[in-house]
Amino acid sequence: MANDSGPPKSRDGFQWTEEKGLQAGLPTLGLINPASNLTKGKTYDAIVVGAGYAGLTASRNLVLAGYDVLLLEARDRIGGRSWSSNIEGYPYELGGTWVHWHQPFIWAELRRYAMTDELEVSPRKNVEGGAKVTVQLDGKMIHISHDEEDAIIESAFKKFINVDGQLGRSVIPYPHNVEYNMKGLKEYDQMSMADRMKQVSSHLTPLEKNMFEGFLAITHGAKWEEASFFELLRWWALMNYNYPDFMAIGLTFKLRRGQSALARRIFDEANDTGRLNYSFSTPISTITENGGIVEVSRPTECEVFRARRLVCTVPLNVLHALSFAPPLPVLKTVASLNNHVNQVVKCHAEVANPEMRSLGATNYPDGKLTYTFGDGTTPAGNTHLVAFGSSLPGVHLDPEQDIEITKQAFKAFHPDMRVKRIVFHNWHRDEFARGAWEWLRPGMTTKYLPALRERHGNVFFASSDFSNGWRGFIDGAIEDGSKVAREIDDELKPVQLSKSARITSKL
């Protein structure tokens, strides 16, 4: 293998190779250097906390509208839970990955930056190496084709989702407005994935049940009784109420240069205006509003940042770790303390097996990694596999804790697998995420979601964790960041115009 080259390393993520063993930190286009361009003692129009897609979008839109913005980020990089590591010029997606033209906000960003021609297909079905799917069922390895895999999952999916005889259409007739049918929302939001599986389990064949449960386990990433069934209904509705679109929209198209390439374009456009100040590796501890000015302070630091408005984009599972004055409403705090439940593990492997470029493999319920599939060819000519693991009791994987266990989790998919490299970011142990993409508990949508979206004085909240449309997806983060930036612009614009008029009259 060639030596690693490319962008500087972030502190985030891990990589294991045969030559160097396990190393912390991964190269990424999202690393920001210099880490700060702060102007001391300035009162900004807006402070944005968090440089994921919600924070980047809000920052860019505000500076383009003429406001002075300070972007604060606890990490040394942009992207939040959607970032890629570029190793030897090849991107490994550590978090959010797939995009589609049915996701309006991210598609608009790809159009904006002339990146719509940078999509490539993932996973790699029916390409070089042949079409192979292996399934572990009752201790036996079963071999099927990708077409057979799709037919089995689609059959189970329809049985599982068809609560109304219309494949969920009457429950969520308008996917971007789930509150339109409050009766359906209240009924199915109270139902867990375990509740629904009990209702349909007898209608599934053993193979259907095994493969579909494995599929769902890496969708919600939680104990079955702790994951809301309504979240799956919502995903299904967004993906046009059918399985082929579910897979095409949610798990097919990724960016050739990785998500960090897109995030970088957003950050650079904002920075080029000259109105963006930023500070990375800057975790904050306290947000205080006093006399209409919002103040932000860092733990154990005397430095205080001030602005007329603030956008808080920290993930739901981290929100309660910040101190607010005045205190946050109870529902916001309790929602964060209850947390969303997704603790999916995502790992990449580079394997010296060209014949596995079309591999799809399931190892459920006993595998520490539940599902893997071929996701490309590395510059060395090896096969790139991406794998996901659930957080079921007894099988949850913290990949960096014992890399040999992680390697064996990959090799369990196929006895001939020769693992050369492993790349991952452990979101479960990430203090600034505390979990993967959002998946709410039963009852959380009806009880907490409206409260999570509400502003708190001059503090606004934006996150893919509680956006209106593609909640839990990159598109939802961009939607929420754009929405909040527009709300702030609507409030500050009259003051901005008045100030400009006064200056013009003096001239």
Mean pLDDT, 10 residues at a time, over the chain (507 residues)? 66 97 98 95 96 98 98 98 96 98 98 97 69 87 92 98 98 95 96 98 97 96 96 98 97 97 98 98 97 93 92 98 98 98 97 92 94 94 95 88 97 94 97 98 97 98 97 98 98 77 52
Query: What tokens does 325 get?
Result: 């004055």
What pLDDT score does 40 carry?
A: 85
Strands 43-49 and 69-72: parallel
Q: How far apart are CA 59 and CA 284, in angstroms?
A: 17
Coil, helix or strand at residue 235: helix
Q: What is the SS3 string spanning 303-367? A: CEEEEEEEEECCCHHHHCCCEEECCCCHHHHHHHHHCCCCCCEEEEEEECCHHHCCEEEECCCCC
Angle between helix 146-161 and helix 229-238 axes, rounded to 10 deg: 120
Rounded CA gap, 250 and 244, in Å?
10
Strands (E), 184-303: 253-255, 276-279, 286-290, 293-297
Task: Compute the residue count for the chain.
Answer: 507
Q: Which of 472, 377, 384 is nearest to 96 (CA)?
A: 472
Cβ(116)–Cβ(107) below 8 Å: yes
- Residue 132 is predicted with a pLDDT of 78
Confidence at residue 188, expressed as pLDDT on a 0 to 100 scale: 98
Q: What Å distances lie between residue 351 and 98, 176, 382, 414, CA to CA?
A: 22, 40, 6, 11
Q: Are 131 and 137 in contact (CB under 8 A)?
A: no
Contact status, residue 296 vs residue 47, Cβ threshold 8 Å: yes
- 176 Rama sector, left if φ>0, alpha if ψ -120 to 50, beta otherwise: alpha
Structure tokens of 306?
A: 């001030």
Residue 6 confidence (pLDDT): 66
CA pair distance 71, 67, nearest whole angstrom: 12
Evaluate whether 342 touches 221 at the Cβ level (below 8 Å).
yes
Query: What is the token pair recorded at 127?
Result: 């390409």
